[in-house]
Amino acid sequence: MIETTSSTSPTVRCPMCLSRVALDTGQLWVLDGKTGMHRPLDLPSGINPDQKRRRLRLAKVRCPNQIGEYPEHYLPYHYVDQAEEPVVIAMVGASASGKTHLLAAMIGKIHEQGLRGFGLSVSPLDIAEYEHFTSTHVRPFLMGNAVLLRTNHDVWEFVIGLTVEDTDDADSPPRAVVFFDISGDGMSVTSHIAKHAFFDVVDGFIFVVSPEDLERDDSAAAFSAVLDLVKDKEDKAAVVVLAKADQCRFDYPVDRWLREEEPTLDPARIREESRDIYSYIVGKDKGAGYLRPWTEVGRVALHAASATGAPSSDDDTSRYARPVRPRRTVQPFLSLMAMTGVKKGAEAGKVGD
């Protein structure tokens, strides 16, 4: 829940440095596309409410960065003006497990399909950041069939934010949902993980494991390092995604779920898939490390997904030989929205129980 400071101004917790951020700190900022720097946002005194709303879509609030642990950073205005604490999602998995492609395909497909049919309205939290993510990740991958680069080691801010509203529940306010996608390199070392404050405030995890990872002995190390660090796991939600599932598309029971056309919020159906993917992983996982989220996190669902839809070619490392056709990349998002309480209602309340 939103906290109130002594000045009675509501505050939101910055997910990067955990400072409390208030809207009443005065100056608002805007990212200058030309310089890449933030400059003060001009809100002339005669501005009317419609004009102001329009400008606020681009506005940023400077985080007080209270203990200066991180470089100066800014939060989208609509991150800070939420009625409820935002929802923080973290991608977890070994390097090259497929986190970044999965996230790009997920965001792209949500945009394309819309989730109105599931009682969810999804829009960009910050238009400029959304456009940046779309032009660097979603479009090159989904429309240009480009292989995305491995995530840089110095990424520490969230990469994409959404505003998600439960359209079936008039009383529930829109929620900000942000995704962290850091490099999997080094994620196996708890002291590296501990440098990222967002792991202390995660609401939902996307644990990513690829069929290649299942063949290796050591690659559940990223899952373990995160689970060893995180507290109060029983209050959190997680999806475990068997990513790159195109690589085992002929294996029972993965084949069946990959063919599934529509995602679902039906808890029984999600439970059925979870059981199937659990049994698939259990049969391959040498150290059982990939199933730790299942036993340790409060609400969990398991899904199979493929960002590319087909095995990638080794011949050309910058472009896929076949057009990219994501499979089942919206399902982990839907399950997480139910398990983190963004999607309310009796049915959603049973997902991942």
Ligand X SMILES: Nc1nc2c(ncn2[C@@H]2O[C@H](COP(=O)(O)OP(=O)(O)OP(=O)(O)O)[C@@H](O)[C@H]2O)c(=O)[nH]1
By CB under 6 A, name the binding residues for ligand X. 93, 95-101, 147-148, 150-151, 183-185, 243-244, 246-247, 306-308, 311-312
Work out what residue 185 binds among Mg ion, ligand X, Zn ion, none; the CB cut-off runs from 5 to 8 Å by kind: ligand X
Burial class (CB in 10 A: 0-12, 13-18, 19+), 49: exposed
The two tokens of residue 303 are 């899904």
Binding marks (x or -) toward Zn ion, 11..30, rule CB under 5 A?
A: ---x-xx-x-----------
Provide the minimum distance between the beta carbon of 284 and Mg ion in the complex, in angstroms, as a whole number. Answer: 23
Binding status of residue 163 toward Mg ion by CB under 5 A = no
Q: Which is nearer to ligand X, 256 or 322 (CB)?
A: 322
Provide the minimum distance between the beta carbon of 234 and ligand X in the complex, in angstroms, as a whole number. Answer: 27
Work out what residue 101 binds among Zn ion, Mg ion, ligand X, none; the CB cut-off runs from 5 to 8 Å by kind: ligand X
Q: Which strands, in side-by-side order, build the sheet including 120-124? A: 120-124, 160-166, 175-180, 87-92, 204-209, 237-242, 299-304
CA distance 252 to 243: 15
Provide the minimum distance between the beta carbon of 64 and Zn ion in the complex, in angstroms, as a whole number. Answer: 7
Work out what residue 63 binds among Mg ion, Zn ion, ligand X, none; the CB cut-off runs from 5 to 8 Å by kind: Zn ion
Q: How many CB atoms lie within 10 A of CB 285?
A: 17
- Residues contacting 298, CB < 8 A, separation 6+: 233, 234, 235, 236, 237
Helix (H, G, I), strand (E, B) or coil at 299: strand
- With CA atoms as reference, report the closest residue to 331 among 244, 251, 270: 270
Work out what residue 76 binds among Zn ion, ligand X, Mg ion, none; the CB cut-off runs from 5 to 8 Å by kind: none
Work out what residue 19 binds among ligand X, Mg ion, Zn ion, none; the CB cut-off runs from 5 to 8 Å by kind: Zn ion
Work out what residue 142 binds among Zn ion, Mg ion, ligand X, none; the CB cut-off runs from 5 to 8 Å by kind: none
The two tokens of residue 210 are 């690829």
Find the part of the chain contacting Mg ion (CB under 5 A) among 42-50, 143-151, 207-215, 342-350: 143-151
Say how many residues touch Zn ion, by CB under 5 A: 5
CA distance 94 to 208: 8
Q: Which is nearer to Zn ion, 19 or 312 (CB)?
A: 19
Looking at residue 227, its amino acid is L
Site residues, Zn ion (CB under 5 A): 14, 16-17, 19, 63
